[in-house]
Amino acid sequence: MPDIAFHGAAGTVTGSRYLVTSRASASAGRGHGGNGDERVLVDCGMFQGSKELRQRNWEPAPFDVAQIPFVVLTHAHIDHSGMLPRLVRQGFKGAIISTLATFELCRLLLMDAAKIQEEDAAFLNRKGLSKHAPALPLFDARDAERTLERFTTRPYDEWTDLPERISVRFGNAGHLLGSATVEMRIQETDRRTTVLFSGDLGRFGVPLNPDPDPPPAADYIVLESTYGDRRHPVESLYDQMQALVLQSMKRGGVLVIPAFAVGRAQQLIYVLNTLMRQKRIPDLPIHLDSPMAVHATRIYAAHPDEQEARGELTARNVISHSTVEESKALNSFAGPGILISSSGMLTGGRILHHLKRLLPDARNTVALAGYQAAGTRGRDLQDHAATIRIHGEEVPVRAAVADLCGFSGHADTDEIVRWLDALKQPPKTIFLTHGEPEAAAALATTLQQRKGIATRIPRLGEVANL
């Protein structure tokens, strides 16, 4: 009998990591794992958020790393991929299976994560702030490079045998370029078990991302529940953006949009250029000021399955600023036009330099295009702070501040139900993961009431027999 152990994203939204084991006794064949057991890890994400959560990244792996021959990766976001370099540092010698786009985005995101790890450790050592001497990174650039060497890419919709009893197939999850659901078949002598991992499930009818593929039949589903207790606003992103750009032009200055560099920045460019092509807003320059966003935009534009997006993302009015000199060239930019830079919650990055200059001028507009966590400058702006602190200075906020709602990458309650509606037969159990406890509990109730499906909310470390 196979089992699944929930080693992350249980009771919280980060650290996705599930270990599937098919026991040797159930089959005559000898598999990988020394004693004939076969193991596949699905995702290996970093815990993010509170200090208590981040501390978990330092705990020893709850399994023998050397006994894992395969990791199947749903998508490139750090809360799903970010501990892969740590796994390699701890002795992982197997293969990482992902789509091609996920591999390309991982190259960007994992190298960046390694740089942050190294910089944080160096900072703590310089300031003597660490209890551990010297402070170490979770992993470094060399670990990230060795991780990238372990990737094997596979297309959507094709089965891959992970010898001998387990096979997997990717479906499009519509959450981020390359994002996938993972359909897993476990063939033991007397029976076959199918498990579907939703990964992060995207939305229906949003710009740039395709709708999620309908779910294949499965005995069990491991389902994300980030927005299991919420409904996204229904107002069209295009209508919101059109109104925002026109208002910003009336004020006469720059429209600044802080955005996460991978995924969100590309969606914004896509929406803006679509509106310009449709003549709903005038032609304006879009300055993209973030080396990571510039690189990610190239990856998006190069992907053959995103043909129609290519024109919007590489149009002549999109002006890339990768180097520091190119970024400084924007110091005299006064509009009209759009400036997209990161980080999305104003926790760091080039956006801070721009805001220091642009916030005190009432002609400018700042649009917040994503969730703003408590305690960030982004949240302060959203809460109408009169000043925000940047690089030790109190910067007055005279620019207009607006919210762009609905740019979420995650399906809400109704969209999750809609996705499951395509199932001809309900699964035996849906495991609800990747959600805060309230969100997972609300989704459990919804699925029980609206679809009569049995659910289970696993605790961290819990093992379920399948």
Dihedral angle computed from the Cα positions of residues 309, 314, 319 and 325, in that order, rounded to the nearest 10 degrees? 110
88 or 201: CB nearest Zn ion: 201
Residue (183 or 200) nearer to Zn ion, CB: 200
Q: At what angle do helices 237-251 and 264-277 cross, to 10 degrees?
A: 80
Closest approach, Cβ 16 to Zn ion, in A, equals 9
Between CA 56 and CA 46 the distance in angstroms is 9
Tokens coding 59: 């705990």
Nearest CB to Zn ion, comparing residues 77 and 287:
77
Among 200, 224, 380, 415, binds Zn ion (CB under 5 A): 200
Site residue total, Zn ion (CB under 5 A): 2
Is the CB of 9 or the CB of 144 nearer to Zn ion? 9
Comparing CB distances to Zn ion, the nearer of 109 and 453 is 109
Quote the least distance from Cβ 408 to Zn ion, whole Å. Answer: 11
77 in contact with Zn ion (CB under 5 A):
yes
Select from 11-19, 111-119, 144-152, 198-206 the region that touches Zn ion (CB under 5 A): 198-206
* Least distance CB 436 / Zn ion (angstroms): 15
Instruction: State the nearest-atom distance from the C-beta of 326 to Zn ion, in Å.
Output: 29
Q: What is the CA radius of gyration of the chain?
A: 23
Cα 415 to Cα 227, 337, 422, 436, distances in angstroms? 10, 34, 12, 18
Which window, 71-79, 138-146, 188-196, 318-326, contacts Zn ion (CB under 5 A)? 71-79
Q: How far is CA 36 from CA 18, 30, 67, 165, in A?
A: 20, 4, 11, 11
Cβ distance to Zn ion smaller for residue 77 or 89? 77
Residue 224 touching Zn ion (CB under 5 A): no
Find the angle CA(311)-CA(316)-CA(317) to the nearest 5 degrees: 105
156 vs 238, beta carbon nearer Zn ion: 156
Instruction: Pick the piece of the chain touching Zn ion (CB under 5 A) from 76-84, 293-301, 324-332, 345-353.
Output: 76-84
Q: CA separation (Å) from 139 to 61, 237, 438?
A: 14, 39, 33
Q: Which stretch binds Zn ion (CB under 5 A): 197-205, 269-277, 331-339, 438-446?
A: 197-205
CA end-to-end distance (rounded Å), the chain: 6
DSSP state of 262: T
Dihedral angle over CA of 300, 305, 309, 315, nearest 10: 60
Cis check for the bond before 52: say yes or no (omega within 30 of 0).
no
Q: Minimum CB separation from Zn ion for residue 77, in Å? A: 3
410 binds Zn ion (CB under 5 A): no
Interacting residue ranges for Zn ion, rule: CB under 5 A: 77, 200
